[in-house]
Amino acid sequence: MPDPSTEYSFDPAAEVAEREVGEPPGLGPWRLAARRLRRNRVALGFLALFFLIVALCLAAPLYADHVAGIGPSDNNLTGKVERGGEQRDVVTPDGTPIGPGFGKEYLLGADANGRDVAVRLLYGGRNSLFVGFMSALITTLIATALGLIAGYFRGKTDLATRTLFDILWSFPVLLFAIALGTALAVGGLDLGPIHIAGNSIWIPTLVIGFVLIPYLGRPIRGQVLSLREKEFVQAAEASGMGPWRIIFGELLPNLSSTIIVFTTLIVANNIILEAGLSFLGAGIQPPAPSWGNLIANGVDRLVTAPHLAIVPGLAIVLTVLSLNVFGDGLRDALDPRAKLRLRA
Amino acid sequence: MSAPLLKVSDLHVSFATEEGTVKAVDGVSFELRQGEILSVVGESGCGKSVTALTVMGLSRGPNATIEGEVNLDGKDLVTLPEDELRKVRAERIAMIFQDPMTALNPVYKVGDQIVEQILAHEDVSKQEARARAVEALRAVGIPNPDRRYDHYPHEFSGGMRQRAMIALALVLEPEVLIADEPTTALDVTIQAQILRLLEQLNRERGLAVILITHDLGVVAEVADRTLVMYAGRVVEEGSLDDIFYDPQHPYTWGLLGSLTRIDQPRPRRLPSIPGAPPSLISPPRGCHFRPRCPHEFAKCSDTPRLEARLPQSPEHLDRCWLDPDEKRARRVVEGGIGLVAGAE
Amino acid sequence: MARFAVRRLANMIFVLFAISVITFLIFNVIPSGDPALRIAGRQSNEVTRAQVREDFGFNDPVYVQYLRMMEQTISGDLISYSNRVNVREELVRGIPATASLVIGAAMIWLFFGVLFGVLSALYAGRAPDRLLTVLAMVGISLPVFWVGALLLYYLTFKVTLFPAGGYVPLTEDPASWFSHLILPWFALSLVFIGFYSRLLRSNMLDVMNEDYVRTARAKGLSERRVLVRHVMRNALIPIATLFGLDFALAFGSGAILTESVFGLQGVGQYVADSVGNLDLPPIMGTTLYAAFFVVFFSAIVDIVYARLDPRVRLNP
């Protein structure tokens, strides 16, 4: 889950210097944040890594067609591939698939059905990243809306929202997602006229998006409650601004840095959550690949073909790590408190 | 004249920061005599707090460079090793801070925090320490000190909290009390009470006080002598009469000119000192006040030394090249002392 | 204080009720297809489904169905249709393994999380902090089941340092119990150690810049005393409350993945296995049990928090 962290060093003089010197003149908070972020090369490096991963996954069909020559669901139990000069079985007669090796085909090895791991990895990445992003988006939209409304209007609206959050929050996330995921996987979901099939990728997306709502909703509600008491809101109300203009014009902009940081970290969190769900079978349903169910398949054959479990896991770690590091740098840059940082 | 209690000589304090080296204190020297109340006046960022913290050794840190001498009874506090410095703190020099709300640890009882200090310095029994703590609370005018001992900071009102801070500071009977803006965060009526208390302690115990403030009204109430600081330097030093009736530095004129006066017709706008304080990373060459001073001339690009320029007042020091006659003429604005006329 | 506790209790009961309703809704009322199919499981045949329909009475009004479900659950009659096993019995059987896993891991992650957090804060900005930060960042990015798989592969297969999964009750063979749990403990605590050390580091840095810490120094207290009695005492408060909740969550659901990978036959594995069969009654039963844990521990955490932070006591 999103975790707080700031970069300044422990130094009794730090705060003193900060109070005495204040902000570099002439820069608004966004420009200041952008400047600080630009200086954080580690964070930017990981952001680049993340974009690279996304790009690779998006290019999955290109890879499948032009490099590996095989699709993600194409079995190949009897084929052979050239390695180090000799022809080797993709899958040996006793069921052991080939491991990673240098070459266009089966770069990362094959699985028990002879499918190309690299291809499935990229296609799986598309699915996993889709779920990660979209669910985070859903959570952000709903949680922000609820948090704003509850925090601004208070009274009964707040009571209802807060109770909703409390209840949702009491369900352990994974279990809740499993429960919803399994229930919906069987028959799908009917939302009025729309029917979503049980094995649609939207099921885990909606489930994860829904389950995470209180984790963003509560902090936002808390922040709105305290912002609401600040003078600029009272001034806006006194000048006759309607509640919606205040919510969108005054409150939302002040929340944006919180939202941005949280969303980044929620995406990271959701990728891992989806992986766990799919690993258990309650997320993305086979035969659609996802990093999670790839690992599940791999664990079955851990002893004979360890690469099946190791590779997708590495993909997850790299992706999530880049998001976490970048999100951290982002939070640091947007932190309004640390005006002047000491050279570490 | 007896030897001064505390003698600060040519103190320089700078901090290494992200944006550059901040020169917070640029050659400050002064003396504190026994039993006197010395006030230090200046706007935020002028270095008054850093000076005070440096005297206590609280500005030490990996990013701080401290040069100069702070002499207490023959010992130089700047170079004193940490464990000896700890003994000086609270036993010989004590400090209270601006915001009583946050200056006490919220999770411990007030009385316990006083006892903690006693036990850290003296080898006495807990009961005796407790008795002394209760006495200390009584001495600063807190009613029911026995019961109040067991209360938490948030159960005290602002004024009482500041009194408790003073009790804490003085329980080991130090010779010097540094009060950093002790009344800024308090209501005007409470301000008066706290100042009364400080005066009383000064009279009854011979306690020397360094009173840091930005409020000339406070200075006029209690100070014996005053230092006026600007951008890391002392720009004027003298007795109350000197500063209020015969100020020698344009910045002081500006401070005095911006006070509202009951005996004059109301100007349409209160005159404020034009411009803004300089950056302490790249301060102006020569006199730091030069860019804002309407009376500046060529010589001001040489840094004026802090010295007595009036033969009849050897203890009245200032940093301005102007002739004393010039000063007397130029400081009269709209019938009183000031720097610029109030805007229309 | 008593009023506070009573209100919390009432709140707890209300939330539990709401949770049971929602669980019920998830399984019986979500608009999609045949509920009998859902409950009987994907592998079921028509006979079983007919049985389910009879047992659950899908034609009855909703609240009757709800009451029936609650009655079954509370009286312990909830039956899994896939294997005709009583859900409650299975749950109870799995508790020792889950408890061993979670309690052990919790102690480990709390200890190391705090240790690394303090070290990081003390050496903030310098080499030890940078190293610990890297480790923590990697730690929070690791999927626990993948780590488990790696550990199994490298430390039980490639090199047979540890047994390859399974659970041995403490009463049967303490040494074996321990050796079977080392790897699972490690896997489960990694993520938490990363998270807690960062959280504590951040809290400590915030607290170190607070005014009362400056006051403590001005009082001439030793650095160690300032650190422990002022900085840590305050910085650990959010950690303590978070720990209570994470512990409950781990008991309820965090252990699912770890148990599944290591074959620990605990409550978590029971859930994991049920997912594979899309077998709902066990999942339902476990959800209620886990949610109860969370609600219960939330209340405890609130009470503990009030003890730790006197500012909270007066405003329940």
Instruction: State the pLDDT at residue A125.
Output: 93
Closest partner residue to A167 (CB to CB) among C18, C38, C275 is C18
Look-up: residue for tokens 């928090």? Answer: C305
Interchain contact A279–C (C-beta under 8 A): yes
Q: What are the tens digits of pLDDT across the range A6-60?
A: 333 334 455 555 554 455 555 677 777 888 888 888 889 999 999 999 999 998 8
Contacts of C143 in chain A (CB under 8 A): 272, 275-276, 279, 292, 295, 313, 316-317
What is the SS3 assignment for C169?
A: coil
Name the fold adopted by B1-92+174-230: Rossmann fold (3.40.50)
Can you give B127-143 as a three-state secondary structure string? HHHHHHHHHHHHHCCCC
Contacts of A281 in chain C (CB under 8 A): 275-276
Contacts of A190 in chain C (CB under 8 A): 31-32
Q: Which residues of B212-230 are buried (b: 16+ CB within 10 A; e: fewer)?
A: bbbebebbebbbbbbbbbb
Highest-confidence range of A88-92, A293-297, C172-176, C274-278, by mean pLDDT?
A: A293-297
Alpha-carbon torsion angle C56, C58, C64, C68, nearest 10: 10
> Contact partners of A by the rule of 3+ C-beta pairs under 8 A?
B, C
Instruction: State the pLDDT at residue A53.
Output: 94
pTM (two decimals): 0.83
Residue B230: strand pairing partners: B233
What is the SS3 assignment for B1?
A: coil
> How much of chain B exceeds pLDDT 90, in percent?
40
Q: Note the Cα C8 to chain centre separation in Å.
A: 21
Of the listed ranges A198-212, B309-323, C298-312, the one predicted with least confidence: C298-312
CA A268, A273, A276, A279 torsion-angle sign: negative
Residues in CB range of A200: below 8 A, 6 or more apart: A188
Interchain contact B60–A (C-beta under 8 A): yes
Residues C153, A309 contacting (CB under 8 angstroms): yes
Contacts of C221 in chain B (CB under 8 A): 86, 116-117, 120
Contacts of C18 in chain A (CB under 8 A): 163, 167
What is the SS3 assignment for C133?
A: helix
A20, B22: Cβ pair inside 8 Å? yes
Q: Which of residues 290-309 of A touch C (CB under 8 A)?
A: 292, 295, 298-299, 302-303, 306, 309
Interchain contact A339–B (C-beta under 8 A): no
Q: Rounded to the nearest 5 degrees, what angle is found at the Cα of C152, between the Cα atoms of C148 and C154?
A: 115
Interchain contact B280–A (C-beta under 8 A): yes
Q: Which of residues 4-43 of C touch A (CB under 8 A)?
A: 11, 15, 18-19, 22-23, 26-27, 30-34, 37-38, 42
Run of H or E including A48: helix A41-58
Mean pLDDT of the region A146-153: 87
Rg (CA), chain C: 23
Q: How far is B102 from chain C (nearest CA, A)?
A: 6
Residues in chain C with pLDDT < 70?
Answer: 1, 27-44, 52-61, 73, 76-84, 254, 276-280, 313-316
End-to-end distance of chain A based on CA atoms, in angstroms?
A: 27
Residue type, A239: S
Residues B177, B169 contacting (CB under 8 angstroms): yes
- CA-CA distance, B109 to A182, in Å (whole number)? 53
Q: How far is A15 from chain B (nearest CA, A)?
A: 10
Contacts of B116 in chain C (CB under 8 A): 219, 221, 229
- Alpha helices by DSSP H, listed for chain C, are 2-24, 35-40, 46-56, 62-74, 87-122, 127-140, 144-152, 174-208, 211-218, 223-225, 233-249, 255-262, 267-276, 280-308, 310-313
pLDDT category, B116, cuts 50, 70, 90?
Answer: very high
- CA-CA distance, B64 to B7, in Å (whole number)? 21
C219, B152: Cβ pair inside 8 Å? no
Average pLDDT, chain A: 81
Instruction: State the pLDDT at residue A30.
Output: 76
What is the SS3 assignment for A88?
A: strand
- CA-CA distance, A298 to A111, in Å (whole number)? 8
C32, A184: Cβ pair inside 8 Å? yes
Residues in CB range of C183: below 8 A, 6 or more apart: C148, C151, C152, C155, C156, C162, C262
User: In the numeric block, which tokens belong to residue A234?
Assistant: 């009272």
Residues A242, A215 contacting (CB under 8 angstroms): no
More confident residue, B214 or A128: A128
Q: How many Cβ atoms from other residues are within 10 Å of residue B269's Cβ?
A: 10
User: In the numeric block, which tokens belong to residue B139?
Assistant: 């001495």
Instruction: State the pLDDT at residue A1.
Output: 29
Among B13, B21, B22, the residue to mutate for chain A (most A Cβ within 10 A): B22
C311, B102: Cβ pair inside 8 Å? no
What is the SS3 assignment for B331?
A: coil
A324, C141: Cβ pair inside 8 Å? yes
Q: What are the tens digits of pLDDT across the range B276-292?
A: 888 888 888 899 998 88
Instruction: State the pLDDT at residue A254.
Output: 82
Q: Name the residue among B171, B173, B190, B174 with its Cα closest to residue B100.
A: B190
Interchain contact B50–A (C-beta under 8 A): yes
A20, B64: Cβ pair inside 8 Å? no
Instruction: State the pLDDT at residue A307.
Output: 87
Residue C141 sits at φ, ψ, to 5 deg, of -100, 0
Contacts of B58 in chain C (CB under 8 A): 214, 217-218
Among C22, C221, C253, the residue to mutate for chain A (most A Cβ within 10 A): C253
Residue A291 has pLDDT above 90, yes or no: yes
Domain C87-308 CATH superfamily: MetI-like (1.10.3720.10)
- CA-CA distance, B306 to B28, in Å (whole number)? 9
Distance of CA A37 to CAs A47, A329, A344, Å?
Answer: 11, 7, 16
Distance of CA B146 to CAs B107, B143, B150, B153, Å?
Answer: 19, 9, 8, 15
Closest partner residue to A313 (CB to CB) among C146, C257, C294 is C146
Q: Rounded to the nearest 5 degrees, what angle is found at the Cα of C166, between the Cα atoms of A296 and C169?
A: 150
Q: What are the tens digits of pLDDT across the range A220-277?
A: 888 888 888 887 777 888 887 788 888 887 788 888 888 888 899 899 999 999 999 9
Distance of CA C290 to CAs B217, C247, C268, C278, Å?
Answer: 64, 11, 10, 19
Instruction: State the pLDDT at residue A24.
Output: 52
CA B172, B173, B178, B181 torsion-angle sign: positive
Rg (CA), chain A: 24
Of the listed ranges B171-175, B216-220, C248-252, the one predicted with least confidence: C248-252
Run of H or E including A177: helix A173-187
- CA-CA distance, A129 to A122, in Å (whole number)? 10
What number of residues does chain A have? 344
- CA-CA distance, C68 to C87, in Å (whole number)? 16
pLDDT category, A213, cuts 50, 70, 90?
Answer: very high
pLDDT category, A162, cuts 50, 70, 90?
Answer: confident
What is the SS3 assignment for A298?
A: helix
Among B18, B101, B107, the residue to mutate for chain C (most C Cβ within 10 A): B107
Contacts of C216 in chain B (CB under 8 A): 105
Residues A170, C290 contacting (CB under 8 angstroms): no
Interchain contact A11–B (C-beta under 8 A): yes
Q: What are the tens digits of pLDDT across the range A170-185?
A: 888 888 888 888 777 7
Q: DSSP string spanning B42-88?
A: --TTSSHHHHHHHHHTTT-STTEEEEEEEEETTEETTTS-HHHHHHH
More confident residue, B1 or B14: B14
Mean pLDDT of the region B21-41: 92
Residue B153 has pLDDT above 60, yes or no: yes
Residue B20: strand pairing partners: B17
- CA-CA distance, C34 to A132, in Å (whole number)? 29
B89, C310: Cβ pair inside 8 Å? no
Closest partner residue to C205 (CB to CB) among A6, A198, A298 is A6
Average pLDDT, chain B: 88
What is the SS3 assignment for B39?
A: strand
Residues A182, A109 contacting (CB under 8 angstroms): no
**Strand pairing category for B208-213 and B176-180:** parallel
What is the maximal distance between C-alpha atoms in chain B?
Answer: 67
pLDDT category, A71, cuts 50, 70, 90?
Answer: confident
> How much of chain B exceeds pLDDT 70, in percent?
97
More confident residue, B245 or A198: B245
DSSP B2: P
Residues B5, B202 contacting (CB under 8 angstroms): no
DSSP A110: B
Number of helices (H), then strands (E), in chain A: 14, 4
Q: DSSP string spanning B292-321?
A: G-TT--GGGGSPPP-EE--TT-TT-EE---
> Left, alpha or beta for B190 (phi > 0: left; psi -120 to 50: alpha)?
alpha
Mean pLDDT of the region B112-139: 92
Interchain contact B125–A (C-beta under 8 A): no
Cis peptide before A287 (omega within 30 of 0): yes
Interchain contact A242–B (C-beta under 8 A): no
Q: How far is B97 from chain C (nearest CA, A)?
A: 8
Among B14, B15, B58, B99, the residue to mutate for chain A (most A Cβ within 10 A): B15
B106, C310: Cβ pair inside 8 Å? yes
Mean pLDDT of the region A137-159: 89
What number of residues does chain C have? 316
Q: Which of residues 185-244 of C touch A (CB under 8 A)?
A: 195, 198-199, 201-206, 208-209, 214, 217
Q: What are the tens digits of pLDDT across the range B80-102?
A: 998 889 888 888 999 998 888 88
> Contact partners of B by the rule of 3+ C-beta pairs under 8 A?
A, C
Among A6, A10, A15, A21, the residue to mutate for chain B (most B Cβ within 10 A): A21
Among C210, C215, C231, the residue to mutate for chain B (most B Cβ within 10 A): C215
- Alpha helices by DSSP H, listed for B216-342, are 216-222, 240-245, 250-257, 324-330
Mean pLDDT of the region B146-159: 90
User: Residues of CATH 1.10.3720.10 domain(s) within chain C?
Assistant: 87-308
Interchain contact A38–B (C-beta under 8 A): no
- CA-CA distance, C214 to C234, in Å (whole number)? 14
Q: Name the residue among C233, C92, B90, C13 with its Cα closest to residue A166.
A: C13
> Contact partners of C by the rule of 3+ C-beta pairs under 8 A?
A, B
Starting at the earlier edge strand, list the strands of the sheet with B37-41.
Answer: B93-96, B176-180, B208-213, B37-41, B225-230, B233-239, B317-318, B307-308
Mean pLDDT of the region B133-152: 91
- CA-CA distance, A292 to A309, in Å (whole number)? 9
Closest partner residue to B104 (CB to CB) among C215, C220, C237 is C215
Interchain contact C140–A (C-beta under 8 A): yes
Q: How far is A35 from chain B (nearest CA, A)?
A: 12
Q: What is the domain partition of chain B in residue ranges?
A: 1-92+174-230, 101-171, 248-337
- CA-CA distance, A83 to C108, in Å (whole number)? 46
B152, C311: Cβ pair inside 8 Å? yes
